[in-house]
Amino acid sequence: MNRAQRNVTVLAACQALLLTGNAILIALSPLVGFELAADKAYATLPVTTYVVATALSTVPASFWMKRVGRRVGFMSGAVIGVLAGALSSYAIYAGDFLLFSAGTGLAGLYNAAGQYYRFAAVDVASGSFKSKAISFVLAGGIVGAFLGPGSAIWTRDIFPDHLFLGSYMSTMIFAFLAIGLLMLVDIPPPSEEERQSGGRSLATIAAQPVFLVAVLGGMIGYGVMNLVMTATPLAMTAHHHPFGDTAMVIQWHIVGMFAPAFFTGTLINRFGVLKIMLAGTLLMFACVAVALSGFEFLYFWSSLVLLGLGWNFLFVGGTTLLTECYAPPEKAKVQAINDFLVFGTVAAASLTSGTLLHLIGWHAVLYGALPFLALTGLASLWLLRHRSA
């Protein structure tokens, strides 16, 4: 196994640990928030602090890695992950809602750092292996799809007087394991030129059509995915589906998100990144069409699987396309602004989803996604035609 393959394997394992902790946090934080909050209207505040902290931390995380290198940057994030688990656990023990919300906010910092695992794989990959490296690292998330919910179930009753305390203590263990794995990462530190030079201005870089389409693909892919996924459990509950059915739909959605990563890179190399992004957009249109067709379990299940597949093609495609936009001295700021825009969109989608569902209904959430999907589809098609001309 060469250095690039070894690094990708380690980063994929770290991605698996990150997504396992994230799955626990996303699944349980609303429940813990409801238990701890004096005013139940604020029960989702812990999830909000997590999402917002992720969006706000993407830029400083990228520039911190530019200064100290990928390995130290990732290990710093994992240390914060351990502290986040400790703070959240103590907050549950103490029954302190605000402290718990602060703990989930710290977890957002860890998540922001972990989002750069996919870019780190590109640092040591070359040629056709770049798209495969991104894809394989994201494939680590398939472990989180099963290990996260399973861990939450196995550990929630360890401390009978403090429900879910064991689950949040387990997130400390997963982050600590990531620290050990990251010691095996072998990525050269940034050169002096890379640390000191900023390259072209961000305005010049952002004016490139390739940059605009890449960022748009990531923003719309992740934003629409989050918009629909966040509303699905509430919509299923409103139509009297049991919790077990809802959990199965979300689990298979996560499988749809990450399982294709084993071959998305190969598809990009064969058909081209823009065609794969177009396929991702069409899969998301199909998701909306299926979801609008009925409220039975099969419609929710199949639409969420299609949603996951569409996200994978758009996100892996957008990340791959982004690597064409910058030179080495420019990568920190380009990756930073990309992830800030992507996760800022995710935060906005999270806040919008519940409001649309509550005020108008499930169909409003689905129709609301269509203009954004049309925009990214047209942009990808335009760039594909432009390159073919």
Among 40-44, 53-57, 248-252, top mean pLDDT goes to 53-57
**Cβ within 8 Å of residue 389, ≥6 positions away:** none
Tokens of 382: 């335009």
Q: Are 262 and 136 in contact (CB under 8 A)?
A: yes
Give residue limits of the domains in the chain: 1-190, 199-389
Tell me, rounded to whole angstroms, the distance of Cα 75 from its chain centroid. 19
Whether the domain at 1-190 and the domain at 199-389 fall into the same CATH topology: yes
Q: pLDDT at position 41, please? A: 64
Using the predicted structure, report yes or no on whether residue 26 has a pLDDT greater than 80: no
CATH of domain 199-389: 1.20.1250.20
* Alpha-helical segments (H) within the chain: 3-36, 45-68, 70-94, 97-114, 117-123, 129-139, 141-155, 165-182, 192-196, 202-206, 209-238, 243-258, 261-271, 273-291, 297-322, 331-359, 362-388
pLDDT in tens, 49-86: 888 899 889 889 988 988 888 899 999 999 999 999 99
Q: Quote the pTM value.
A: 0.79
Determine the Cα–Cα distance for residues 114 and 116; give it in Å rounded to an integer: 5
CATH of domain 1-190: 1.20.1250.20
For residue 356, the SS3 value is helix
Q: Are 138 and 261 in contact (CB under 8 A)?
A: yes
Using the predicted structure, report yes or no on whether residue 28 has a pLDDT greater than 80: no
Q: What percent of the chain clears pLDDT 70, i.e. is strictly above it?
A: 94
pLDDT in tens, 189-237: 766 666 666 677 778 888 888 899 999 999 999 899 988 887 787 787 7
Determine the Cα–Cα distance for residues 299 and 152; give it in Å rounded to an integer: 27
Using the predicted structure, report yes or no on whether residue 247 has a pLDDT greater than 80: no
Alpha-carbon distances of 348 from 223, 343, 362, rounded to whole Å = 8, 8, 17
Q: What angle (nearest 5°) sits at the alpha carbon of residue 286, between those of residues 388 and 265?
A: 50
